[in-house]
Amino acid sequence: MAASENKAIIAFGEGCDPDTIQAAYNLAINKICKPILLGARSRIFRIAESKGIDLNNVEIDVVD
């Protein structure tokens, strides 16, 4: 396994918080870690979209 595939995984309990979504997005696009957002998937995606964040093409898991 390559070092880049061995990223830390961080779960964020406040997955519906706009600042948490932004932080998780920044961590994912900079390949710092693999974030997991905990919360209602539809709400997380709606909040992200309202902030101009596209979660569809980044390595972020959402656990409802």
Whole-angstrom distance, CA of residue 52 vs CA of residue 37: 17
CA 32 to chain centre: 12
Predicted confidence (pLDDT) at residue 32 exceeds the cutoff of 50: yes
Percent of the chain exceeding pLDDT 70 equals 92
Whole-angstrom distance, CA of residue 39 vs CA of residue 46: 12
pLDDT of residue 33: 96
What pTM does this model have? 0.88
Predicted confidence (pLDDT) at residue 4 exceeds the cutoff of 60: no
Percent of the chain exceeding pLDDT 90 equals 89
